[in-house]
Amino acid sequence: MPDLPAPKPVLAGKPVLQGDTIRLAALPEGHLLHVMGATTSEEIANHLLAVNLKESTVRPAGYRQWFVAGNHQLSESQRQALADALSGGAFISDQSHGRIRIHVSGSQAAALLNKGTAVDLHPLNFPEGNSAMTLFGHISIQLTRTVGQDFELIVLRSFAQSLYEELEALALSLGGSKVGNPVWNGA
């Protein structure tokens, strides 16, 4: 039986775009866990600390649903430790293989994103930590304001290249320029 090809990050080779007011970059394909159940963001965050996943973040993804995201791949024992910690209140579904995260930041980030989505991104209406399942053009995404003028987009893997190319064109129109490729260090 022939060997299967080594997995390659879907946005490997895509350049980082940066200007004075905008930055666009693909994030490492670390982990993305979908948590569903009768729990809260705070309880999930406490469980993450308890199982030593303190660099992971929690984002609302719908009624009694959250995404736990991070830049590093998790071992099976780490996933199981979190599943055990959530046992009885919620369960997890690993989405790491099927979704891609993209980072957009800078003072023009909201302006760039408003060209493709109808979400009101004014900080009073969409403050840090807020997430929305929405469309960017015709592509379904989860949009999160992570901090200040930083946003993270989570998109299905099969739509990641198309979305990134659309965001590239918008970033270039706002003064961004290609500054290099990200380092993929296997994650």
> What does the pLDDT read at residue 13?
84
Give the phi and the psi of residue 48 in degrees, each rounded to 5.
-60, -45
Instruction: Please report which confidence band the pLDDT of residue 39 belongs to, taking 50, 70 and 90 as the band edges.
Output: very high
Q: Which residue has the higher pLDDT, 143 or 1?
A: 143
Residue 88 three-state SS: coil
Task: Please report which confidence band the pLDDT of residue 184 belongs to, taking 50, 70 and 90 as the band edges.
Answer: very low
- What's the pLDDT at 179? 84
> Measured between alpha carbons, how far is 173 from 181 in angstroms, rounded to an integer?
19
Residue 9, pLDDT score: 82
Q: Using the predicted structure, report yes or no on whether residue 171 has a pLDDT greater than 60.
A: yes
Rounded to whole angstroms, how far apart are CA atoms 99 and 10? Answer: 10
Q: Average pLDDT for residues 176-187, to the nearest whole number?
A: 61
Query: Residues 46-94: pLDDT tens digits?
Result: 999 999 998 999 999 989 999 999 999 999 999 999 999 999 899 999 9
Give the helix ranges, DSSP H, for 10-60. 41-50
Backbone angles phi, psi at 160, to 5 degrees: -60, -45
Q: In whole angstroms, how far apart are CA 104 and each of 5, 46, 168, 181?
A: 31, 28, 10, 15
Looking at every residue in the chain, the average pLDDT score rounds to 91
Report the pLDDT value the prediction gives residue 185, as an integer from 0 to 100. Answer: 39
User: What is d(CA 67, CA 88) in angstroms, rounded to the nearest whole number?
Assistant: 18
The domains of the chain, with CATH numbers, are 16-28+98-180 (3.30.1360.120), 31-94 (3.30.70.3400)
